[in-house]
Homo-oligomer: A and B are copies of this chain.
Amino acid sequence: MGEMEQGAYVDSLLNLESLRKSLVRQEDTIIFSLIERSKYPINSRLYHESNAASPLHFFINESEAVQAKAGRYVSPEENAFFPDSLPHPMLPPPKHKPVLHPSGASININEKIFNHYLKTLIPLVAAKGADDGNYATTAASDLACLQALSRRIHFGKFVAEVKFRDSPQDYTPAILAKDREGLMALLTFESVEEAIKKRVEKKAMVFGQDVENQESGNFKVKPSLVSQLYGEWVIPLTKFVQVEYLLRRLD
């Protein structure tokens, strides 16, 4: 990556309009990944043991090791689910100037995301029916969902950084007072959240429709489920990341 492109990349992570565009584009990725997961039944043998020893845990851990070698976790946009002892990248990492404040850059709430995905989301998205034996493709599909959700939710760090840089005076008193509720109130815009929920519901209708039979009213993933996922989970967790980030912003 040349220096000019590096600069453009860093700038795009510090510009509210380009962050918004990325978040909108990430909605497509999340919905595609959920639609793909919906091809498979729960396939509970992947999850049957305690999470830490389940085949899915193993699969994600090893997949992240391969992706770490390819440099995935050099990017400030990516957070590993099992970050301990990942191997170093084989390609020299791009030399970005750091985008995030160091204390907040390391925030990682993937354990929360992982547990919620397993317990709540899979049963709602998975196809009905008995185990179909497609464990490896199911696990790959789980990983795609988890990574898409994790990237979206941790984007809260960039959003918080940009908001702080734009008007530090608005956030500083609440940060100094460690006032989580006050920060949450500053970051909450209900009309924006409603617009997001409507948009992802519409996207789920568009992307999950039966294209050969558009009148069928069948959707691969229930559009209201995607709206609910965003309203009850993705948006609140993104704001949680923003609050955590801001609380460390003056360290």
In the complex, A90 Cα to B130 Cα: how many Å?
21
In the complex, A36 Cα to B148 Cα: how many Å?
11
**A215 part of interface (Cβ distance < 8 Å):** no
A206 proximity list for chain B (CB < 8 A): 206-207, 209, 211
Q: How many identical subunits does the complex contain?
A: 2
In the complex, A32 Cα to B4 Cα: how many Å?
31
User: For chain A, what secondary structure do more than half of its interface residues adopt (helix, strand, loop), or is it mixed?
Assistant: helix
Q: Distance in Å from the Cβ of A135 to the closest Cβ of chain B? A: 5
**A203 part of interface (Cβ distance < 8 Å):** yes
A137 in contact with B211 (CB, 8 Å): no
Q: Which residues of A contact B (CB under 8 A)?
A: 1-2, 4-6, 9, 24-25, 28-29, 32, 35-36, 39, 45, 55, 58-59, 62-63, 66-72, 75, 78, 90-91, 94, 130-137, 139-140, 144, 199, 202-203, 206-207, 209, 211-212
B66 in contact with A135 (CB, 8 Å): no
CB-defined A-B contacts under 8 Å, sample of 20: A2-B131, A4-B130, A25-B39, A28-B35, A29-B36, A29-B39, A32-B35, A45-B91, A58-B69, A58-B70, A67-B136, A71-B135, A72-B137, A75-B136, A78-B137, A144-B144, A203-B211, A206-B206, A206-B209, A207-B207
**Cβ-closest chain B residue relative to A5:** B130
Known: A35-B32, A36-B29, A45-B91. A5 touches B212 (CB 8 A): no
B133 in contact with A70 (CB, 8 Å): no
A135 in contact with B91 (CB, 8 Å): yes
A94 proximity list for chain B (CB < 8 A): 133
A136 in contact with B70 (CB, 8 Å): yes
A45 proximity list for chain B (CB < 8 A): 91
What 8 pairs between A and B have smallest CB-CB spacing?
A72-B136, A70-B136, A94-B133, A1-B133, A32-B32, A62-B66, A5-B130, A71-B136
A139 proximity list for chain B (CB < 8 A): 70
